[in-house]
């Protein structure tokens, strides 16, 4: 099966230790995992979170889970690069929706002192990758983080938040547990992810069955991310997009890998079963519309990266409205004066 050529495995020795609950900064909750079907009253109930937990647990139990880790390891390394770009040491960090530890394996003790890894899938936490940083595993839901306010210097999240029903609440929870001047660095799938698969399934199902149902999860639009981060309380925001394209032998190999990643659709309105002839037709459409010359087919993963800071008095503040001493109209005159000075020299 074709994989990203740039991906490499980076293993470190894991130093996992147990810490008494009183030292974890835990809030008084019975469990960080939400009851099946529970959501915030204001949230749309789009995803079956209990099914998503089962999917991730199944993926983590496979004999060779690393076979399907290539995409999450790549994005995890890019999140780690953004952490390294910040010139400071983070004493206490949290990974929300950590999976098998795709971010922590790329960080070192000089950058992060202690690392808390949170996920809804217990099997993923039991089967984490090797890492250098001392870690603590906590079974918890991204929407119900069981930590006290102002606990962490750094919160990261990679390819997990696109499965939460209440993204605004999840971002508010992350902001809540961050210390002032703490930073959140996250990545989630964007709206153009797997557009080739989505279009192929829709065309085939429309032709063979007279209509189509959604088979790929809905994603957040990039234009909404900045607003959601600001509404959660973050400032000094950065949002950027990237695309990773992976070539597969065919559509069925792509779907097998999505299942192995724990990324199968868990929306409540998903169609439970597709007819065999519809699937074969979709695979043919996929190859015809998007196929490469060597017979492989591409799959596009659009990634949104976001960075937001929790307010602190020491942070640089924007100037007050009306305090400018030079107008935009005068900037052109300055350029002309500088050009004249250069000519005179």
* DSSP track, 175-227: HHHEEEEEEEEEEEE-TTTTHHHHHHHHHHHHHHHSS----S-----HHHHHH
Query: Is there a domain that residue 143 lies in?
Result: yes
Query: Is there a domain that residue 32 lies in?
Result: no
- Among 154, 121, 3, 2, which Cα is nearest to 73's? 3
Residue-level pLDDT at 211: 56
Per DSSP, the chain holds a count of helices (H) and strands (E) of: 9, 8
* Chain length of the chain: 345
Residue-level pLDDT at 323: 66
Structural domain that includes position 86: 49-313
Query: Is there a domain that residue 129 lies in?
Result: yes
pLDDT along the chain (345 residues), means of 10: 34 29 38 41 72 92 90 95 94 95 93 94 90 91 91 96 90 95 95 91 80 60 86 92 94 94 80 78 93 94 95 68 67 68 66
Query: Is there a domain that residue 336 lies in?
Result: no
Residue-level pLDDT at 4: 38
pLDDT tens digits, one per residue of 206-248: 887 765 555 555 677 777 888 899 999 999 999 999 999 999 9
Query: Is there a domain that residue 16 lies in?
Result: no
- The structural domain count of the chain equals 1
Residue-level pLDDT at 38: 44
Residue-level pLDDT at 316: 64
Average pLDDT, the chain: 81
pLDDT tens digits, one per residue of 297-321: 999 999 999 999 998 676 666 666 7
Query: Is there a domain that residue 64 lies in?
Result: yes
Residue-level pLDDT at 202: 86
Task: Please report, for the domain that includes residue 62, its CATH number.
Answer: 3.40.50.150
DSSP string, 131-172: -SSEEEEEEBBTTB----TT-EEEEEEES-GGG-S-HHHHHH
Return the ∠ at Cα 94 (arms to 88 and 61), rounded to 5°: 135
Residue-level pLDDT at 216: 58
Query: Is there a domain that residue 43 lies in?
Result: no
The answer to whether 174 touches 201, Cβ cutoff 8 Å, is no
Query: Is there a domain that residue 205 lies in?
Result: yes
Residue-level pLDDT at 317: 64
The answer to whether 251 touches 200, Cβ cutoff 8 Å, is yes
């Amino acid at each position: 099966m074709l994989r990203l050529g740039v991906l490499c495995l980076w293993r470190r020795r894991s130093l996992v230790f147990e810490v008494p609950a009183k030292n974890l900064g835990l809030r008084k909750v019975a469990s960080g995992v939400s009851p099946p079907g529970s959501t915030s009253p204001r949230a749309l109930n789009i995803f079956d979170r209990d099914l998503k937990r089962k999917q991730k647990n199944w993926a983590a139990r496979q004999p060779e889970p690393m076979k399907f880790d290539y995409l999450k390891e790549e994005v995890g390394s890019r999140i780690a690069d953004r952490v390294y770009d910040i010139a400071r040491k983070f004493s206490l960090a949290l990974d929300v929706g950590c999976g098998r530890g795709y971010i922590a394996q790329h960080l070192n003790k000089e950058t992060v002192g202690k690392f808390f890894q949170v996920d809804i899938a217990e099997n993923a936490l039991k089967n984490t990758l090797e890492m250098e940083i001392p870690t603590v595993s906590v079974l918890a839901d991204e929407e119900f983080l069981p930590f006290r306010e102002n606990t962490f210097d750094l919160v990261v999240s990679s390819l997990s938040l696109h499965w939460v029903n209440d993204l605004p609440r999840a971002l508010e929870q992350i902001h809540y547990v961050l210390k002032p001047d703490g930073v959140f660095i996250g990545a989630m799938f964007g709206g153009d992810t797997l557009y080739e698969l989505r279009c192929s399934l829709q065309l085939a199902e429309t032709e063979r069955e007279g209509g189509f149902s959604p088979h790929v999860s809905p994603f957040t639009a990039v234009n909404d991310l900045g607003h959601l981060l600001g509404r959660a309380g973050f400032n000094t925001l950065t949002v950027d997009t990237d695309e990773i394209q992976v070539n597969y032998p065919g559509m069925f190999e792509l779907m097998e890998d999505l299942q192995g990643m724990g990324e199968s659709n868990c929306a409540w309105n998903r169609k439970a079963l597709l007819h065999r002839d519809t699937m074969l037709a979709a695979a043919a459409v996929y190859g015809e519309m998007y196929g490469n010359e060597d017979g492989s087919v591409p799959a596009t993963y659009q990634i949104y990266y976001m960075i937001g800071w929790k307010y602190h008095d020491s942070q640089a503040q924007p100037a007050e409205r009306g305090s400018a001493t030079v107008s935009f109209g005068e900037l052109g005159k300055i350029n002309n004066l500088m050009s004249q000075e250069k000519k005179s020299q």
